[in-house]
Amino acid sequence: MSGNSTTQSEPWTIQRLLQWTTDYFKKCGSSSPRLDAEVLLADACGYQRIDLYAKFNEEPTEEVKSKFRELVRRRAANEPVAYLVGKKEFYSLSFFVSPACLIPRGETEHVVIEALDRIKQNPSKQEFQIADVCTGSGCIAVAVAKHAPNSRIIAIDLSAEALELASRNVELHAVQDRVHLQQGDLIESIDDQSLDMVLSNPPYVSDAEFESLDRNVRDHEPKMALVAGATGREIIDRLIEQSAAKLKDGGWLICELSPMIADAIHATLEADKRWTRVSLVRDLAGKKRLAVAQLAPRSPDHV
């Protein structure tokens, strides 16, 4: 944000700051340069992003410009915008985020949509017992709880730091009566046949795929929340096995996955006769993004 001799006297208005920063982020390879510039400048100014448009001719204070310069510098070094401002929108709700958890993404909203659809299809059911596995920021659990007052959700994660952040989001959206946080390894500690749904956005990236991820993700988001192992299927395979024991008859498993392993997970579920109504759900980009399966009624030998 420096000018030459002909432009140095021009004030650094909000409009000019946005124009310069957008051009700079384009050169840095940002996929959303204008949005990045607006989110960071709004944060530096203490405004809502929409407020910037009513203040185009305003010149921020030196303190604000200094804060903005630092945010721009860090963004140009591939630090994610959500971590820089400490929040991200998910399912039309605002969530606190930090490097302790994955940044909530639009693809994961499909888990919420599928869960809410099944809750709405059973209007006479008084209460749904749900586990949100690998909860991270708690975005899935909170979004479901906000839109389904008859849900009772155990939100589980291995990471104490992630659960601390999830706790802030549970309190932010006032769903403490519906969301219980628990540290643990998947759902091994849950009682058998106690759940109506298992929801999850688990680690599903393979070791090889991790190396090819965008630097914004690879260098900044927690590896333990991304990488499952050599195949990318390791965590989901365990979750499928555990869910078969923990779900009630007719209960649902709704799990986000990578398009690279979608067909393999689908084949695993299809071959396992404990599951029925197996399907893959595509995201808005047309990629296979969720595995959905219903637990078939248990035989008398297994009840």
The per-residue pLDDT of the chain, averaged, comes to: 93
Residues 108, 43, single domain; the answer is no
Q: Whole-angstrom Cα distance, residue 134 to residue 157?
A: 5
Separation between Cα atoms, residue 70 and residue 17, nearest integer Å: 13
CA 253 → CA 122, 139, 188, distances in Å?
16, 18, 15
Cα distance between residue 83 and residue 94, in whole Å: 13
Amino acid 196: pLDDT: 97
Can you give the pLDDT at residue 9? 74
Return phi, psi of residue 294, to 5°: -110, 135
- Would residue 157 count as lying in a domain? yes
Question: Could you tell me if 215 and 69 lie in one domain?
Answer: no
Q: Is the pLDDT of residue 302 over 60?
A: no
pLDDT computed for residue 161 by the predictor: 95
Contact 102, 201 (CB under 8 A): yes
pLDDT band at residue 215 using 50, 70 and 90 as cut-offs: confident
Query: Number of folded domains in the chain?
Result: 2
**197 - beta bridge partners?**
130, 252
In a domain, 38, yes or no: yes
Give yes or no for a contact between 40 and 84, defined as CB atoms under 8 angstroms apart. yes
What pLDDT score does 2 carry? 54
173-200 tens-digit pLDDT: 999 999 999 999 999 999 999 999 999 9
> With 90 as the cut, is the pLDDT of residue 219 above it?
no
Residue 151 inside a domain? The answer is: yes
Q: Are residues 39 and 155 in the same domain?
A: no
Listed in sequence order, the residues at least 6 apart from 212 whose beta carbon sits closer than 8 Å to its beta carbon are none
Angle, helix 62-76 to helix 14-28, in steps of 10 degrees: 10
Asked whether residue 103 falls in the same domain as residue 67, the answer is no
- CATH classification at residue 158: 3.40.50.150
pLDDT at 29: 85
CA distances from 133 to 30, 45, 92, 292 (A): 32, 37, 21, 15
Model confidence pLDDT, tens digit, residues 110-165: 999 999 999 999 888 899 999 999 999 999 999 999 999 999 999 999 999 999 99
Identity at 199, one-letter amino acid code = L
pLDDT band at 5 (very low <50, low <70, confident <90, very high): very low
Question: Global pTM?
Answer: 0.89
In a shared domain, residues 37 and 97 = no
- Is residue 50 domain-shared with residue 172, that is, in the same domain? no
Question: In Å, what is the CA distance from 33 to each residue of 21, 25, 80, 116, 169?
Answer: 8, 5, 12, 34, 28
Percentage of the chain surpassing pLDDT 90? Answer: 82
Write down the pLDDT at residue 124: 84
Residue 171 has pLDDT above 80, yes or no: yes
Alpha-carbon distance 150 to 128, whole Å? 6
> Is 63 in the same domain as 156?
no
Residue 193 and residue 17: Cα distance in Å, rounded?
57
Q: Are 115 and 94 in contact (CB under 8 A)?
A: no
Asked if 234 and 257 count as a contact pair (C-beta separation under 8 A), the reply is no
Residue 261 has pLDDT above 70, yes or no: yes
Residue 62 lies in a domain: yes
Say if 86 falls within a structural domain. no
Q: Residue 25: which domain range?
A: 14-77
Residue 19 pLDDT > 60, yes or no? yes
User: Which residues are within 8 A (CB) of 105 and not within 5 positions of it... i.e. 6 or more apart?
Assistant: 90
Evaluate if residue 3 carries a pLDDT over 60: no
Domain boundary among 28, 47, 77: 77
Q: Do residues 154 and 271 share a domain?
A: yes
Q: In this predicted structure, what is the pLDDT of residue 301? A: 57
Q: pLDDT at residue 249 above 50? A: yes
**Any domain includes 83:** no
State the pLDDT at residue 111: 98
Give the pLDDT confidence of 40-50 residue by residue, as tens digits.
999 999 998 88
The reply to whether 72 and 193 lie within a common domain is no
- Domain contains 55: yes
Residues 48 and 190 occupy one common structural domain = no
pLDDT at 300: 65
**What pLDDT, on a 0 to 100 scale, did the predictor assign at position 8?**
58
Tokens of 196: 């109506």
* Domain shared by 167 and 47, yes or no: no
**Whole-angstrom distance, CA of residue 220 vs CA of residue 237:** 26
Please tell me whether residues 38 and 106 are part of one structural domain. no
Give the per-residue pLDDT at 298. 81
28 in a structural domain: yes
